[in-house]
Amino acid sequence: MKQHGFPRAAFAVVSVAALALTAACGSSGSGGGSGGSGSPIVVGVVQPYSGAEAYYGKYENDAWKMAEKNYGSSIDGHPIKLVKGDSKCDPATAVSAVRRILAQQPTVINAPDCSGDTLAMLPITTAAKVPLVSENLAPDITTKGSHYVWRAQASDAATNKLFGKYIAGLGHQHIGVINDTTSYGVANSQTLVDGLSAAGVSPAVKTTYDISATDYSGQILKLKQASVDAAYMEGYDLQEGNLVKQARSLGMNAPIYGPTTASDGTFLKAAGSAAEGVTFATSFLPDWSPSAKSFAKKWQDEFGYPPNMDSVGMYQVAVVTIKALQKAGAGASADQVNSALKSLQVSGLPEGSVSFTATGDLAHPLVLVGQWHNKTTKLVKVLAKP
């Protein structure tokens, strides 16, 4: 996620009908995609296109538009056909969506932003032997033994190992942790705790909330009663912003740290002035490199809002997908595309480069520390780079 004040939640009203989702039933094995001359190559795309997280669907559409502009929209004369499914950031809905997409015989599928959705889909896409390209942060995405999943962005395990050490290195000894109970929230907070523990610091208090909650006063008071000298607050963008805002309104003056969800416009809009000074870990900030700054300007000029870690991750997933299809060739099966992904190396991306480990993780992740100042993010430190 990224910088100044773009209201991500505004995209929650994106019309589902306008996105022309393709529906069918069943599942597929090898995934065809280019039977005759000029026949389309099917790529599945699953995202929340409706509901509170519908802005992810907007990001996905824009990411593919820019990726095709930069890398092409066809393979040897065969057009790439995007078949979209609406997951609504709900695992059961995501499963239904991916089954409908698999009936269209895709050669590859781009995973939804919500980690719980992807985890629910993974056994199905693996059984179908169709590769899943992801920008999810939950470590479990690549620990289930699937040989058909590829993560084009740093996982929380990679990010928080370094971020926890960074926080501990600032001298905090009594840290409170608040997280939601989604798959993402549990995994994110645990990797942060692991990073702190590796640096010799154990949380003074740890508490959770349901993602549907709007009152976090009980959790915040637990941290205040423990006299914490720093707080790590996890949540999706909107919830993260509301959580930080309530914490400040209840008199919590300790430094606040957060995950990458604390780095974008939806968070800023929800948190308001409480965002000032909040420090976060992320894999994208425009000021980390000249190429990232150039990309951010092009995105802003093209779509009228700044990119963030989510939209950049989706862009990198789209680019990786196109490059794998180019490498495999127009007539490639899903298995052949999967083999192309395995050995793929792509440079010149907003976060540096992409190549994969044997388990499908990003081989050389970018890990940054950012902070809010005057409604704008700024780079504080580069913890790791490709």
Instruction: Quick: pLDDT tens for 274-313.
Output: 999 999 999 999 999 999 999 999 999 999 999 999 999 9
Strands of the sheet containing 78-86, edge to edge, are: 74-75, 78-86, 41-47, 108-110, 132-134, 149-151
User: Over the stretch 151-162, which tens digit does the pLDDT of each residue have?
Assistant: 999 999 999 999
The residue among 32 and 216 whose pLDDT is bigger is 216
Q: Is 164 helix (H, G, I), strand (E, B) or coil?
A: helix
Residue 93: CA count within 13 A, CB half-sphere? 14
Residue 344 is which amino acid? L
Element (H, E) at 146: none
Residue 336 CA to residue 384 CA, distance in Å, equals 32
Angle at CA 219, nearest 5°, toward 215 and 222? Answer: 145
> What CATH architecture is 156-282?
3-Layer(aba) Sandwich (3.40)
Identify the burial level of 276 via C-beta atoms within 10 angstroms of its C-beta, where 0-12 means exposed, 13-18 middle and 19 or more buried.
Answer: middle
Q: Where in the chain is the domain with CATH 3.40.50.2300?
A: 8-154+291-364, 156-282
What pLDDT score does 37 carry? 57
What confidence category does residue 14 fall into, taking pLDDT thresholds of 50, 70 and 90? very low
Residue 94 CA to residue 46 CA, distance in Å, equals 7
Query: Hey, what's the torsion of the CAs at 239, 240, 241, 244, to 10 degrees?
Result: 120
Residue 85 CA to residue 56 CA, distance in Å, equals 12
Angle of helix 55-71 relative to helix 309-328, nearest 10 degrees? Answer: 40
The residues, any chain, with a CB within 8 Å of residue 382's CB and separated by 6 or more, are 288, 366, 367, 368, 369
Mean pLDDT computed over 40-58? 95
pLDDT of 205 > 90? The answer is: yes
pLDDT of 25 > 70? The answer is: no
CATH number of 8-154+291-364: 3.40.50.2300
- Is the separation of the CB atoms in 233 and 247 below 8 Å? yes
pLDDT of 227 > 70? The answer is: yes
Q: How far is CA 89 from the centre of its chain?
A: 12
Mean pLDDT computed over 173-180? 97
> pTM (2 decimals)?
0.85
Best CA proximity match to 311, nearest among 249, 375, 363, 265? 265
User: Over the stretch 65-117, which tens digit does the pLDDT of each residue have?
Assistant: 999 999 999 999 999 999 999 999 999 999 999 999 999 999 999 999 999 99
Which residue's structure tokens are 């490059």? Answer: 323
**Alpha-carbon distances of 144 from 115, 131, 362, rounded to whole Å:** 13, 14, 16
Q: Is 59 helix (H, G, I), strand (E, B) or coil?
A: helix
Q: Which two tokens stand for residue 277?
A: 């000074």
Residue 132 is which amino acid? L
Residue 217 CA to residue 220 CA, distance in Å, equals 5
